[in-house]
Amino acid sequence: MTDPIHGGFPLTRMRRNRHDSWNRRLVSQVRLGIDDLIWPLFVVEGAQICVPVPSMPGVMRRSVDTLLEAVQQAVDLGIPAIALFPCIDDARKSPDAREAYNPDNLVCRAVRAIKERFSDRIGVVCDVALDPFNSDGHDGIVRDGRIINDETLDVLSRQALVQAQAGCDINAPSDMMDGRVRAIREMLDGNGHHDVRIMSYAAKYASAFYGPFRDAVGSGGALKGDKATYQMDPANTDEALHEVALDLHEGADMVMVKPGLPYLDVIHRVKETFRVPTFAYHVSGEYAMLKAATLNGWLENDKVVLETLLAFKRAGADGILTYCALEAAQLIGQKR
């Protein structure tokens, strides 16, 4: 829009509101805060173990004692929740994944230790899926080369129950079996765990971005075939809305879209359609790409981390599971 009286200069100058830092803060539409972050952590057997995951720079596998040190860092920074993922010894893996519902398994011991030290100062999210415990590397029970849905539901429900009994605050089923949210909700409620929440991986895609995560939990080498028969086709978005609707009907309290950056459109559609707590997972492959670029000096780490996480908020995510949570919290704290 121009003003002919003043020689054609624009009356509306969009740059005015960008001139000062304080003004940019005043008109900012989306905020990224520490309260938006969930920090995924990998736990292993043993003591005094803190070893790097080679494909995920800066990410560690920790024994329970050093895990507690990491959780302390999260508590000190005000991160509201951590998410636990186990790396199980091969000797404890089996085709029926029975270690998943052992009440004294690695995850349950880690949860009890966290709750004993920190009580309700931080939330604990537990993954409900069989791939870390399954000698076939799949999220469900495999028979004759097929993932068996309904038999898997029984194992997942028992897994969720022992996690709840250990003190888990949020069960997060990531398996993508049909009907698993209802099966878990009924198991929890039937055993008096009405307050344990379910954060459903409602729209989890059969993505190529999970490789480093499978390295971290030790399931990649065991995996036979792919997961396309139960995880979603990356081409589909209407199907994601159907999946979310089903999980909400079955009792999910929160929903998640996974992966994150390649599926910002799905996050937006889910939030706009359902208006429920919606989370995104900034997955291992996305994280690894970011870190590879910054370690090579191609991108500026701090700015890229915050811009990436802000994109999830802009798309509509209420919270983000990200391996960048600790450094993001530190950066956000510095800007206060």
For the annotated binding site for Mg(2+), the residues are: 243
Structure tokens at 43: 């736990």
Contact 181, 247 (CB under 8 A): yes
The C-alpha atoms of residue 181 and residue 156 are separated, in whole angstroms, by 10
Residue of 93, 204, 271, 313 marked active site: 204
Active site includes 93? no
Q: How many other C-beta atoms lie within 10 A of the C-beta of residue 239?
A: 14
- Concerning whether 258 is annotated as a catalytic residue, the answer is yes
Residues 6+ apart with CB under 8 A from 254: 170, 197, 198, 199, 200, 276, 277, 278, 279, 318
Residues 6+ apart with CB under 8 A from 82: 38, 39, 40, 41, 70, 71, 74, 114, 122, 123, 124, 125
Pair 290, 299: CB distance under 8 Å: yes
3-state SS assignment for residue 261 = helix
Q: Give the Cβ contact number of residue 316 at 10 Å.
A: 19
> Pairing relation of β-strands 37-44 and 81-87?
parallel
For 94, residues 6+ apart whose C-beta sits below 8 A from its C-beta are 133, 134, 135
* Annotated catalytic residue, options 258, 271, 291, 313: 258
The conformation of residue 209, written as its DSSP 8-state character, comes to: T
As annotated, the active-site residues are 204, 258
